[in-house]
Amino acid sequence: MFEPGLFAGTGFYERFAWYRANDPVSWQHPAGEPEGFWSVTRYHDVVAVHRDTTRMSSTGGMRLGSTERAVSAVANKMLIVADPPDHTRMKRVLIQPFSNDVLSRAEQYVEQVVADVVETAVRRPGPDLIAQLERIPTDVICAIMGLPRADWEWIGRKTTDAFESPSEVQRITANGEIFKYFSDLVRENRRTGANAFVSGLTAQDTGGARLTDEELVFNFSGILAGGNETTRFTLAALTLQLVEQPDQLARVLSGEADPAVATEEALRWSVPGMHVMRTATEALRVGGVEVEPGQRVVTWIGSANRDEEVFAEPDTFDVGRTENRHLSFGAGRHMCLGSRLARLEVAAYLRTLRRLVRAMTLEGEPRYNGSNFTWGLNELPVVLHA
């Protein structure tokens, strides 16, 4: 699973299929890594790991390649690397901006942002559609967080650098700049109360669930990343499938495909969060394999979403797929906070394509970022035709 360039395309899906059939819970120890880990590739085993918060911990990091120092600095202070009771306490506060009532009021704004982006892409097509699509999640999440409009482009760029830059120095620097930005925002809001999003979260005290300023800063960064990177990859993957499969595009543009149903297939197919890691706190069995305390367990969402035992014809992209319990948002306590917001954005994109677009053409070679964590297209030379 660690050959150079494996994730620079889609060939890793064949590797996943081999592991599911022959070695579904395999021991991996890549060259240069100080320790190995268990690699989990089948759907039901992945779900079992995600739902076991008694014997599986997130505080040792949730991704391969994390440094111990960085993880220890945010463990139990950032939702994605927290265990109960800290995870429960933080989620009780942080879920408020993503409640059904709040997002129902945001739907019209989401539709407006998507329409503006697609209209611009049709009028002024550029060499890379992703440069336009990335505005959708960035503008939506920044608006929900009440961030100044003048900062949105900078925020989108820094978020991408923090996760995707090939330079470790640039990734660390970008993360530091994002943390400083939110530190300044929280401190200023303590003085003025001008940001309703921040004020709403700092005022929360449901069952003793108030967050510290440090926890707010770490989790604002997580919200920004979760709302930006993953949705952009899903929109790009969806677009590429539609342009490469004219029959699927015709179903979308004719209105035959239900946007809500097609959204789930886009999420299953795109898998922007490729893997999630946990650390065993006690001995247990995963898929019949003995896992010892302290050992890392890596679940491959990209493999689970193509599991033949769960999905009919899993390697076929079908905008009408109705049996679609994908794991792109995870499972259990760590289910993604922004799942409904992502669904709103993708469904709005599908509706807008039907209204404004008659055809798509691929004008060059799509390119993937090569990451085994936040995986997806970073170049998409597609033109939308009015």
What digits encode the pLDDT tens for the residues 18-40? 999 999 999 999 887 778 999 99
What angle (nearest 5°) sits at the alpha carbon of residue 238, between those of residues 386 and 250? 50
Q: What is the pLDDT of residues 194-246, one digit of tens each?
A: 888 888 888 755 566 678 889 999 998 888 888 777 899 999 999 999 999 99
The pLDDT of residue 206:
56
12 confidence band (pLDDT: 50, 70, 90): very high
Determine if the pTM surpasses 0.85.
yes
In the chain, DSSP assigns E strands to: 25-28, 37-40, 56-57, 275-280, 284-286, 289-291, 296-300, 359-362, 367-368, 377-379, 382-385
Give 150-159 pLDDT, tens digit per residue: 999 999 889 8
How many structural domains is the chain composed of?
1
Give 46's pLDDT tier (boundaries 50, 70, 90): very high
Locus of tokens 């890549």: 30
Work out the average pLDDT over 127-136: 93
Beta strands in 153-218 (DSSP E): none
Q: Which residue has the tokens 């300044």?
A: 184
H and E: helices and strands count for the chain: 15, 11
Q: What is the mean pLDDT of residues 116-142?
A: 93
* CB 6, CB 292: distance < 8 Å: no
How far is CA 115 from its chain centroid? 22
Residue 36's domain comprises 6-385
- Give residue 77's Cα distance to chain centre: 20
Among residues 94, 216, 224, which one has the least CA distance to residue 158? 224
**CATH code: domain of residue 345:** 1.10.630.10
In-domain check, residue 252:
yes
What per-residue confidence (pLDDT) applies to 19? 97
Q: Is the residue at 1 inside a domain?
A: no
For residue 28, the model assigns a pLDDT of 94
Mean pLDDT score across all residues of the chain: 92
- As a whole number, mean pLDDT of residues 260-279 equals 96
Query: What is d(CA 58, CA 35) in angstroms, rounded to the nearest whole number?
Result: 17
pLDDT of residue 204: 59
Mean pLDDT lowest for which of 173-177, 281-285, 292-296? 173-177
| Residue 311 in this model has a pLDDT that exceeds 80 | yes
Q: Tell me the average pLDDT across 98-102.
A: 84
pLDDT score recorded for residue 101? 84
The three state secondary structure string of 362-380 is: ECCCCEECCCCCECCEEEC
Of all residues in the chain, what percent carry a pLDDT higher than 90?
A: 69
Mind listing the pLDDT tens digit for each residue in 315-349?
A: 999 999 999 999 999 998 888 888 999 999 999 99
